[in-house]
A = this chain, B = another copy of it.
Amino acid sequence: MEDIEKILNFVVEIEKLKDIYRKTKPVGLERFENSAEHSWHVCLTALMLKDYANDEVDINRVVKMLLIHDLGEFDAGDTIVYAGQTDEDKAKEAAGTSRLLNMLPDGMADEFLELWHEFEAGETADSRFAKAIDRVPPLLHNIHGDGHSWKTHGVTKEKVFSVNQRISLGSKELWSVLRNKLEDAVNAGILK
């Protein structure tokens, strides 16, 4: 098969991400968000917030990471951040990502698989920032959406603060603004 054909098959296969539904609804919409539109949203969010990363980041690498960070969900499904992922979930997601990227022509998968593992590990400046950004939209969805997924999943304010303070590992300034918004949500009674 021609290399371009292989890439086009990959392009068709990843459409499945448009049918993987997450746990929050975009602001103003009555339906759940899918992982493809989420991926676009976090790329643009990262681009706009890059100057607030704690450490200097290579924003182009961050965007690449975020473009592919959810590819493994075809095979593993989306997990709410508050549930935590089991080792089995993580293994399924890694295998799913690898299966997809290996549809690409020889030699192309490696760069992206490395980026995916770097994102998952969250130990570099780029991945810490990418992971911080990945946490932003679900918070905004809840803050602007009457805490819908916090309520549905019985997520307490203690849990929301403790899990999301990891945003500060990528951007202290961003976490500071979001923490204030979460405190407002507590005061407004939508986060308990």
Contacts and interface: CB of A to CB of B under 8 A. Distances in A.
Interface of A: 2, 4-5, 7-8, 10-12, 14-19, 26-29, 33-34, 36-37, 39-41, 43-45, 47-49, 52, 60, 63-64, 67-68, 104, 108, 136-137, 140, 144, 173-174, 177
A137 B144 CA distance: 32
Given A8-B140, A11-B44, 12 more contacts: A2-B177, A4-B174, A7-B45, A8-B136, A11-B137, A15-B28, A18-B33, A36-B37, A37-B37, A39-B40, A47-B67, A60-B63
Contacts of A104: 48
A43 B40 contact: yes
Contacts of A36: 36-37, 40-41
Nearest to A36: B37
Given A7-B48, A7-B49, A8-B140, A41 B29 contact: no
A12 to B, nearest CB: 5
A3 to B, nearest CB: 9
Given A40-B40, A177-B2, A28 B16 contact: yes
Contact of A4 (B17, B19, B39, B49): B49
Nearest to A64: B47
Contacts of A17: 37, 40
A40 to B, nearest CB: 4
Contacts of A49: 4, 7
A138 B60 CA distance: 26
A127 B44 CA distance: 18
